């Protein structure tokens, strides 16, 4: 990127061993960390191609880069920086409220303004974190004090979970096989005699002539044996005939998407397609 162009945007530019760094003084005094009440006087970037990547202060690290290709010499870079900060503060408030609605305590680091939370159920302890655009992921998972890792990033949309238990079940489906656990640990707030699964066959035999109300909650869970591996399928109704599905195996998430009920091929057929295994070799674990 042309140095003169960067300086025309108000940046102080330095080139150290081929690494282009830039700093912007924030003259308005409006950039404020709401937790520490400290005014943020400047931001620093590194230049990567046609993008400015935030490298400081901590309140901005990890924010969406600024695309220089859309700027002109008259662009006010400070306005874009303020927009970045305000967007993040909006996401902090929105996601904190969503966590509270699920009965989960939100934690915000005063220095970085990073949002996180912790969940415990049985031997599992999950540490969750939110990106600066509000996307949640599993930062860490412990099982009986031992750290678990999976191959694929565990990213999810928080607003799709109606309560804390639904989120816990989703996380368990992601990590249960890695931990060698065959069933979700029971919730401590539910009496053991009430924490009993019911097969769809039993429900159909009892209520096969009835209709499911349009807004009722439906969640489904199934374990399948594929060769030597056990995989876990879970699905939850979002609205109408739209569901969120998840398939996880010993190495973590295999598939996670929304789907329409009318287009769903069936659990065994889905596993067959995703894992490239003949459907007759897939066995449902009773």
Q: Is the pLDDT of residue 250 over 80?
A: no
Q: Is the pLDDT of residue 182 over 50?
A: no
Mean pLDDT of 240-259: 83
Q: Is the pLDDT of residue 194 over 60?
A: no
How far is residue 249's CA from residue 150's CA, in Å, rounded to a whole number? 10
Mean pLDDT of 143-172: 78
How far is residue 252's CA from residue 153's CA, in Å, rounded to a whole number? 9
pLDDT at res. 148: 76
- Domain map of the chain by residue range? 3-98, 114-284
> Of the segments 172-181, 187-196, 273-282, which one has the largest average pLDDT value?
273-282
Under the banding of pLDDT at 50, 70 and 90, the label for residue 184 is low
Residues 6+ apart with CB under 8 A from 266: none
pLDDT at res. 246: 85
215: three-class secondary structure by DSSP: coil
Mean pLDDT of 198-217: 80
Mean pLDDT of 113-131: 90
Which one has a higher pLDDT value, 112 or 2? Answer: 112
pLDDT at res. 193: 54
Under the banding of pLDDT at 50, 70 and 90, the label for residue 201 is confident
pLDDT at res. 36: 95
Mean pLDDT of 145-149: 78
Under the banding of pLDDT at 50, 70 and 90, the label for residue 43 is very high
pLDDT at res. 60: 95
Task: From 109, 117, 227, 254, select the one nearest 173 (Cα to Cα).
Answer: 254
For 76-85, the pLDDT digits (tens) are 899 999 999 9
How far is residue 45's CA from residue 140's CA, in Å, rounded to a whole number? 28
Core vs surface per residue 109-133: b (16+ CB within 10 A) or e: eeebbbbbbebebbebbbebbbbbe
Q: Is the pLDDT of residue 119 over 60?
A: yes
Which one has a higher pLDDT value, 251 or 105? Answer: 105
> Of the segments 110-114, 179-183, 252-256, which one has the largest average pLDDT value?
110-114
Summary count for the chain: helices (H), strands (E): 5, 16
> Of the segments 24-28, 122-126, 184-188, 213-217, which one has the largest average pLDDT value?
24-28
């Amino acid at each position: 990127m042309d140095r003169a162009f960067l300086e025309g945007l108000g940046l102080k530019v330095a080139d150290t061993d081929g690494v282009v760094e830039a700093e912007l003084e924030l003259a308005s005094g409006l950039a404020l960390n709401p937790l520490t009440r400290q005014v943020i006087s400047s931001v620093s970037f590194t230049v990567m191609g046609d993008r400015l990547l935030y490298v400081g202060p901590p309140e901005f690290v990890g924010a969406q880069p600024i695309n220089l290709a859309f700027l002109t010499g008259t662009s006010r870079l400070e306005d874009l920086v303020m927009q970045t900060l305000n967007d993040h503060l909006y996401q902090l408030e929105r996601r904190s409220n969503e966590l509270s609605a699920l009965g989960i305590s939100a934690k915000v680091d005063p220095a970085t303004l990073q949002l996180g939370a912790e969940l415990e159920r049985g031997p599992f302890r999950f540490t969750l974190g939110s990106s600066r655009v509000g996307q949640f992921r599993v930062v860490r998972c412990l099982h009986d004090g031992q750290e678990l890792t999976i191959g694929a990033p565990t990213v999810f949309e928080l607003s799709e979970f109606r309560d804390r238990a639904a989120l816990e079940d989703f996380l368990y489906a992601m990590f249960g096989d890695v931990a060698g656990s065959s069933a979700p640990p029971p919730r401590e707030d539910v009496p053991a005699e009430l924490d009993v699964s019911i097969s769809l066959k039993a429900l159909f035999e009892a209520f096969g002539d009835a209709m499911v109300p349009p807004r009722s909650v439906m969640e489904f869970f199934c374990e399948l044996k594929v060769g030597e591996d056990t995989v876990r399928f879970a699905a939850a109704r979002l609205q109408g005939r739209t569901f969120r599905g998840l398939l996880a195996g010993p190495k973590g998430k295999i598939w996670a998407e929304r789907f329409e009920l009318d287009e769903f091929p069936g659990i065994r057929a889905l596993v067959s397609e995703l894992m490239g295994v003949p459907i007759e070799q897939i066995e449902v674990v009773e």
